[in-house]
Amino acid sequence: MKIKTSLLLTLLVLFSPYTAAYASQFADTEGRTEFFVILTDVSADDSFYAAVMRLIAAGILGPFNGNAEPGAALTREGTAYYLGKAFKLESGYIRGNEVDVGYEFRPDESVALAEIVVMLENIAPVVINAEGGFNSDVDGNVVINTAGVVLSDMAVSGNVFITEGAGSGDITLTNVSVGGSVISMGGGSNSVFIFRSNLGGVTAYGWNVYSDFDLTEYTEGDSSGVVLNIDFIAGNFFSGHETVLVLEGGAIPIYGWAVDYEGMKTFDRIIVSINGKSFATRVVEREDVSENFSSPGLVNSGFYVCPLKDSFNDGENMLAFILVDDEEKIFYVREHSFNVFDIGRYEIGYFHNALIHIDFIGETYVGGNPDGMSFALWDGPVEIHGWAINEYEMSVFDAVIAIINGKPYECAIIERTDTAEHFDAPGLANAGFFVRVPADVFDAGENEMEIILICDGGNEVFTEFFIFYVDK
C-alpha cells in the first residue's frame, strides 16, 4: 500500500515542535484566508485540512501553485524534505538502504509507514508526554510536550524542543549538557528555567527562557586575577562601548574567552547576563588563548552563547558575567554597556534626502566626499569628523554609525553652528558627528566605509558608501 502525503502531514503536526504554536490560529478557520493561499485540492471538510493549514503557517509547506497534492504517493525524497523542514534538520538523521558499498537513498521510491516511524524515531528518540524527572543521556533530540518536566544530570547530543504542549507551566533543566540548542515554543513568561547547564544556544518563539543559578551554593572568589575578553557580538568586533548592528536573523551570537590568570586555569561554567536575564554559555576551544599565555591548559577557555534577539534592547544594553571555577567559587566581572541598533526595523529612506559631508579623516582634510582619496595614517586612534542632515526636512539625525571594513562604531553627535548658519536653519546646530577609531581597523590599501544615519522619529535609515585608500 502506498502511503499518501496527507498521512505524513498529519504526523508532522503531532510530532514537529514548530507547528504547535500555530494551533490557536485555526480554532476558527472561517475568515482566516489571510494566513494562506487558496488551495483547489484541500477543503475544510478534509480530515487533514487543519494539519495542512498549520504546516503552511509554520513555513513547513509551500509555496504552492494552487495544489498541495495531499493524495499523492509519498516518496522517500518527499519524506526527507518534509521531515527536514519540520524539525529544521541539517544532516545525519536519515539514510538510505544499506548496500555493499554504503547506502542507497533511492529518492523516487515509495516510503512505507514503518520507514516513517523509524525516521521519526531517529529524529526524536525521546518524546516526553508526562510530567516528572528524567536523567538519562540521549543520543539525539528530546521533545517535551507537557509541563512539570525536570531534566537533570544528563547529556543531550541534539536539541531540546519545548512545545506549546507545556502550556504556561514550568520546565527545568539542571546540570544538563545540550549539544544543540534549547528551542522553546512553550512555557509561560520566565517559566523555562536553566540551571548550571551547558547549551549550544537558546531560541524562544514568543516565550522567555530564563537561565539562572542558585548563587548561594557558591563562595565568592577574588576576581582580581580574572581576565575576560569579548571578541564578537553579532559578528561585530567588540571593544567596550561599541555599537552593534543587528541586520538579520533572530538570535545574536556572542563569542569570547575567560581565564584565571593567577591560577592559569579555565572556568567550569560561564554565565552571561544580558539586561538582567542570564544565559549559560557553551565551552569552545581557543588555541590562540593557550598559545598567548603559553599554557596548553587554557585551550578550553572560550565561550559562546546565542540568545534570542528579543533579549536585547534597541539602544543601550548591559552585559555582565558570572564565572564558576572547579572549586565551586564564583567570580563577578563588571558590566559592559553597549548599543544595539536593529536596522531591520527601520524603513530605507530616500537617499537623495540625506546630505553627508566628511571634513577630516585623521589629519587629512576631505572637504566632503572621501571616495578615491588616499590618507597617511600613523599609530594611534584615527579621528573622523563630519556632519549630516536630512536636506528634505531640514533636520538632523538621531544616530550616526560608521562601519569601517565591516566594523561598526557609533559616532558622537556634536554641535556644528557653522552648518546651521550655512543653511540658515538653527535646528541643524547638532548636525555634527565625530568618532575615534583604532588605527589597526584600517587596511593598507583599499578601505570601505559606510555611514548609516538613523532617524528614529521618522523610523527611517539612510546609508552612504565610500571607498578610500590608506598608506601605512
Average pLDDT over residues 308-331: 80
- Which positions ≥6 away from 449 have C-beta within 8 Å? 370, 402, 403, 404, 405, 465, 466, 467, 468
Q: Decide which of 2.60.40.1930, 2.60.40.10, 3.40.50.2000, 3.40.1190.20 is the CATH code for 346-471.
A: 2.60.40.10
Res 294: pLDDT: 92
Q: Which range has highest mean pLDDT (234-238, 246-250, 289-293, 350-354)?
A: 289-293
Contact present, 253 and 312 (Cβ < 8 Å): no
Q: Which residue has the higher pLDDT, 403 or 163?
A: 403
Residue 288 pLDDT exceeds 80: yes
Q: How far is residue 309's CA from residue 311's CA, in Å, rounded to a whole number?
A: 5
Domain 216-344 carries which CATH code? 2.60.40.10
Question: 354's torsion region: left (phi>0), alpha (psi -120 to 50) or beta?
Answer: beta
pLDDT band at 243 (very low <50, low <70, confident <90, very high): low
Give the residue among 337, 330, 343, 329 at the shortest CA–CA distance from 230.
337
Least confident of 32-41, 201-210, 281-290, 453-462: 32-41
pLDDT band at 237 (very low <50, low <70, confident <90, very high): low
Render 159-214 in DSSP notation, one character per residue: -EEE-GGGTTS-EEEEEEEESS-EEES-S-TT-EEEES-EES-EEESSS-EEE---
Average pLDDT over residues 298-319: 81
Res 30: pLDDT: 40
> Tens of pLDDT along 10-59?
555 555 554 444 333 333 334 333 334 455 666 777 766 666 665 665 55
Q: In 285-328, which ranges are E strands?
A: 302-305, 315-324
Mean pLDDT of the chain: 75
Question: 18's torsion region: left (phi>0), alpha (psi -120 to 50) or beta?
Answer: alpha
Cell numbers representing residue 139 in the block: 543520543
248 Cα distance to chain centroid: 9
Least confident of 66-80, 160-174, 355-369, 427-441: 66-80
Q: Which residue has the higher pLDDT, 198 or 65?
A: 198
Q: Which range has highest mean pLDDT (10-24, 75-89, 120-134, 360-374)?
A: 360-374
In the chain, what percentage of residues exceed pLDDT 90? 17
> Tens of pLDDT along 337-373?
777 777 777 778 877 788 999 999 988 899 899 999 9
- Cis status of the peptide bond prior to 70, with omega within 30 of 0: no
Contact present, 15 and 127 (Cβ < 8 Å): yes
